[in-house]
Structure 1
């Protein structure tokens, strides 16, 4: 097994990001259209948060009788900054995959923004780490 492989080898680099002025409903649509689970929230080049499908599920009216209209009302009431996670754990592109695995194993997050200095260049998820480990066997 390669022990010193950097996160940059397994991270997703074709990022879709949003900014805090985006509506929650816009973000929901981005999730649906792109089949992704995490979206960085940026202000210019600065990473200010991360929004996940789980964050959206928490605010959605989760009930078998819920209508899309009920969820739309909830989405309109909230700003993206109220829904996103703003205290993030990040990792540098040159850090080892083992370090990402250790952070993800703590269970607080399922994705880590990958940074080069202060600029986000990718995302590494628990799924990326598992796929990497499977390739090693």
Structure 2
């Protein structure tokens, strides 16, 4: 899992989300209220409502679209979470059976990490 979490607060806006996705080259971000997870936002979620990936010249268009929605309206609410003790096999089974590619890792209601399909692939590559 990734322990250095880039997360959004429920009060953040979608422009900030896009900026963080692009700056850190990530595709999933937990949405938190203090340290508790309330949702997950993916870059794909943004693409569904904007032109975020088309060109850099569309900032004004995206600003208008982003102002029409809040993070809470676009995010996946109550995501499936795993604990730090969840096995790699269990995580792989959840991701293989689901339509998403990231799971928040929660310990006693506190977000402690995120595990993605990329994390699993990197783990497998290290085994060979």
TM-score, normalised to structure 1, is 0.85
SS in 2 for 1:91: coil
**Larger relative contact order (CA 8 Å, sep ≥ 6):** 1
Shift of 1:90: 0.8
What's 2:4 paired with?
A: 14
What's 1:36 paired with?
A: 26
TM-score, normalised to structure 2, is 0.91
**Within 2, Cα distance between the matches of 1:128 and 1:20?**
26
Shift of 1:103: 0.4
Alignment length (residue pairs): 127
**Within 1, Cα distance between the matches of 2:53 and 2:29?**
25
Flag the structure with larger Rg. Answer: 1
- Shift of the 62–132 alpha-carbon distance from structure 1 to 2, 3 Å rule, reads closer
**Within 2, Cα distance between the matches of 1:115 and 1:127?**
19
Task: Determine if contact 2:47/2:53 at 8 Å carries over to the other structure.
Answer: no
Task: Determine if contact 2:52/2:58 at 8 Å carries over to the other structure.
Answer: no
Shift of 1:64: 6.0
Deviation beyond 2 Å, 4+ runs, structure 1: 61-68
Give the unaligned 5+ runs of structure 2: none
Q: In the TM superposition, what whole-angstrom CA distance separates every residue of 1:40-63 from its partner, at most 9, and x where no partner exists?
A: 111112110011101111111479
Shift of 1:126: 0.6
- Shift of the 98–62 alpha-carbon distance from structure 1 to 2, 3 Å rule, reads same
SS in 2 for 1:67: helix
1:101-120 to structure 2, matched below 5 A, reads: 101-120=92-111
**Within 2, Cα distance between the matches of 1:61 and 1:122?**
29
**Within 2, Cα distance between the matches of 1:48 and 1:124?**
16
